[in-house]
């Protein structure tokens, strides 16, 4: 998708806050069940993750790998 560029990994605090590869960060995602409404979860290909509390919710299809 993205062009192949050599670049060093950025230091990311708290694990992966926003690692968006396939799709852009969607604003109208789902809310984090822990943080409550107002905190969106980042949508990944196979999971949703909250950047605030690091809560990760795997999508139903398949199993986590
Ligand atoms: Zn959260």
User: Whole-model pTM?
Assistant: 0.47
In a domain? residue 9 = no
In a domain, 2, yes or no: no
Cα 26 to ligand 1 centre (Å): 15
- Residue 38 CA, ligand 1 centroid: distance in Å: 10
Residue 62 in any domain: the answer is yes
Give the integer Cα–Cα distance in Å for 18 and 49.
9
> Distance from the CA of 13 to the center of ligand 1, in angstroms?
15
Residue 13 lies in a domain: no
Distance, CA 58 to ligand 1 centroid (Å)?
Answer: 14
Is residue 41 situated within a structural domain?
A: yes
Query: What's the CA-to-centroid distance between 3 and ligand 1, angstroms?
Result: 31
Whether 7 maps to a domain, the answer reads no
pLDDT in tens, 5-48: 777 776 655 555 656 555 555 456 788 999 988 888 988 899 99
| Cβ–Cβ under 8 Å, residues 27 and 40 | yes
Q: Which residue range(s) make up the domain with 56?
A: 26-65
Q: Are 27 and 10 in contact (CB under 8 A)?
A: no
Is residue 56 domain-resident? yes
Count how many domains the chain has: 1
């Amino acid at each position: 998708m993205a062009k192949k560029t050599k670049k060093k990994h950025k230091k990311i605090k708290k694990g992966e806050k926003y690692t968006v590869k396939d799709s852009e960060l969607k604003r109208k995602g789902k809310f984090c069940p822990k943080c409550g409404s107002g905190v969106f979860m980042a949508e990944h290909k196979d999971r949703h993750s909250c950047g605030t509390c690091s809560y990760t919710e795997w999508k139903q299809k398949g199993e986590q790998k």
